[in-house]
Amino acid sequence: MRSSILPGTTLLVQAVLAGATLAGDVQWNQFRGASGAGTVPDSAPPLKIAADRATWHTPVPQGKSSPVLWGNRIFLTGLEGGRLISLAVDRNTGQILWKELAPEVPLEAMHQSNSPAASTPCADAERVCVYFGSFGLLCYDHEGHELWRKPIPTPKSMYGVATSPILHGDLLILILDDDADLPDSKLSRSRVIALDKTTGNPVWETPRPYNRGAWTSPMIWQHDGGTDLVVLGNGRLYGYDPTTGAEQWYVNGFDREPIALPVSGDGLLYVAVSMQGGRGDETLDPEPFWAAMLHFDRDGDGRIARDEITRDFTMPLRPELPVGHSGFGIPLPDDPVQRRQRQNDIFGWRDKDRDGFWTKEEFTADMSVGRGRPTVAAIRPGGHGDVTESHVAWEIHSGVPEIPSPIFHQGRLYLVRDGGVLSCIRATTGEILYRERLGAPGQYSASPVVANDHLYLGSDRGIVTVVKCGDDFEITGQTDLGEGIAATPAMDPNTLYIRTGTALMAFR
């Protein structure tokens, strides 16, 4: 399944117009660009973003993979007609150059907030590699001709696969963390693998038997002491030798559901992991949770009655999300009878005096943050084995994002979490410079990117906020694109590319 490629002469003209390569030959070739840093040197897309100011707007299949760039092509994946698909888009015009279907396979079961096309491709000058949890790896040349394929059993995961592959030298590296056990064992079949990028043949494989399903991606950390392959896992951050897969060091103390990609800067590595349920603060404020429950207070008496239970009633986990959102509260069965029984059980937890009502006092009396501890930590390079005590430069336990990765820029670390809360941290010390609301609430899945000395932040509701980088909080622009944003934007020297729920848009 493929569409015609534009004539070569037209492509040549468009390559000149758009710029054949990115600034300083730095290509946005993986999730969040080179090394996952989320920025391109000297990139200058517009500061004013608005739907009616898009250079082009191209409908694309549904999916949550982020766009990647090489030369004049944009690569992404999607789901179309129940089939997994890879596609290339012309960077200058937005025209779809080709589409290729993955082998037809059953799609993995996953959370409503995820997608079978969630993993971001990676590319170099000759190839683009894509990973689908439901199938495995596929490698194409830039014209869409398949170079190789490698089926991989689907990792078992609570929410579905979301990790993305990376290219490093001649290797393709992929994390396969898994809730399933090895045969006749209680150890996990989790592993990290490296393949020859030209053939798909295995080069090395490192077991991770104590890790379970996770949703983060690998990253390469280049520092004065060398180069590390960094991989987050359940409760632990690992550093491997990228050429052999040998474990070099690890840091304990993180929660068991890692999603965000680590980032480096000023000689340190920065890691952010929220706690189970997405909570980002060690100290729990019960007020937002009670405010969310008042949605069910139909008679306005300030209490929740048992007969006010509706289909969406549940105990909130993420009160900043709308009631009915799949991530709002404790999951419930679809079967109406089982669902109602579960809701009655939840109601009984807080109705201490059994009078058929929840009061604010009953609801908030014994609220706790649950298991785990949200953490942002800075790690120094070097060391061998357990470096938890020796190489953690600083850590904080508030304002931690669940999904978006942190971003480093000019000595500061920025983090955005659900509810539209942006934190700015001095990267060398962990000092919180500010924590402010963007005025754009809801869930944040896309990671921030930096250009023009500004942060670009997109919410699941489709609000794009532009914030000036620096010690002081200053919003310079905000717009509603009218479509949700779950994929992280991509950039070239003069353009910001945003994937929404239905389209890929360019702002130049």
Show which of 337, 364, 391 is a domain's final residue: 364
Same domain flag for 43 and 123: yes
On whether residue 2 sits in a domain, the answer given is no
Show which of 329, 364, 399 is a domain's final residue: 364
Report how far residue 436's alpha carbon sits from residue 422's, in angstroms, rounded to the nearest whole number: 5
The enclosing domain of 472 has a CATH number of 2.130.10.10
| Structural contact between residues 328 and 322, judged by C-beta atoms closer than 8 angstroms | yes
pLDDT, position 421? 96
Give the percent of the chain with pLDDT over 90. 69
On whether residue 137 sits in a domain, the answer given is yes
Same domain flag for 50 and 198: yes
Give residue 364's pLDDT band: very low, low, confident or very high (50, 70, 90).
confident
Same domain flag for 125 and 160: yes
| Structural contact between residues 490 and 68, judged by C-beta atoms closer than 8 angstroms | yes
Same domain flag for 35 and 85: yes
pLDDT at 353 over 50: yes
Same domain flag for 348 and 453: no
pLDDT at 389 over 70: yes
* Strand partners for 406: none
Cα dihedral across residues 353, 357, 362, 363: positive or negative: positive
pLDDT at 318 over 60: yes
- Section 299-318 average pLDDT: 88
Q: Other CB atoms closer than 10 Å to residue 335's CB: what's the count?
A: 10
pLDDT at 402 over 50: yes
pLDDT, position 469? 98
Report how far residue 404's alpha carbon sits from residue 423's, in angstroms, rounded to the nearest whole number: 12
Give residue 137's pLDDT band: very low, low, confident or very high (50, 70, 90).
very high
205-228 pLDDT per residue, tens: 999 988 888 889 999 999 999 999
On whether residue 326 sits in a domain, the answer given is yes
74-113 pLDDT per residue, tens: 999 999 999 999 999 999 999 999 999 999 999 998 888 8
On whether residue 1 sits in a domain, the answer given is no
Same domain flag for 344 and 260: no
DSSP state of 362: H
pLDDT, mean over the chain: 91
DSSP state of 170: T
Cβ neighbours for 341, distance < 8 A, ≥ 6 positions apart:
none
Same domain flag for 309 and 276: no
pLDDT, position 368? 65
Same domain flag for 269 and 299: no
pLDDT-wise least confident of 12-16, 167-171, 190-194, 455-459:
12-16
On whether residue 3 sits in a domain, the answer given is no
User: What is the total count of domains within the chain?
Assistant: 2
* Domain carrying residue 181: 8-281+371-507
Give residue 62's pLDDT band: very low, low, confident or very high (50, 70, 90).
very high
Show which of 333, 364, 395 is a domain's final residue: 364
Same domain flag for 145 and 200: yes
Same domain flag for 336 and 264: no
Same domain flag for 34 and 174: yes
pLDDT at 10 over 50: no
The C-alpha angle 455, 443, 497, rounded to 5 degrees, equals: 45
- Residues making up the chain, counted from first to last: 508
